[in-house]
Amino acid sequence: MHTTSPAADSLIGIATLAEILQRSRASIYRDIKNKTLPKPLKLGNSSRWRLSEVMAFIDRLSEDRDED
């Protein structure tokens, strides 16, 4: 677990994304395929996500829940 808060524009890997979302890698990649979750940025063989996009995704989930 990180002891410092990353900057909003920092890039995070799949392990951190899975920890934030409390989801498996398979479910994350399934959500990307279904266009629910933003596509990663590719850096060589690595996939990275902007933390700001992940937080916006979480905010949208909260808004959808509040509308129901």
Q: 59 lies in a domain?
A: yes
Residue 3 is assigned to a structural domain of this protein: no
Model pTM score: 0.78
Q: Domain range spanning residue 20? A: 11-67
Tell me the C-alpha distance between 23 and 10, whole Å: 20
Is 2 a domain residue?
Answer: no
> What's the Cα-to-Cα distance from 14 to each of 23, 38, 49, 63, rounded to whole Å?
10, 12, 8, 24
User: What's the confidence (pLDDT) of residue 62?
Assistant: 81
Query: Tens digit of pLDDT for each residue in 27-52?
Result: 999 999 999 999 999 999 999 999 99
Our count of domains for the chain comes to 1
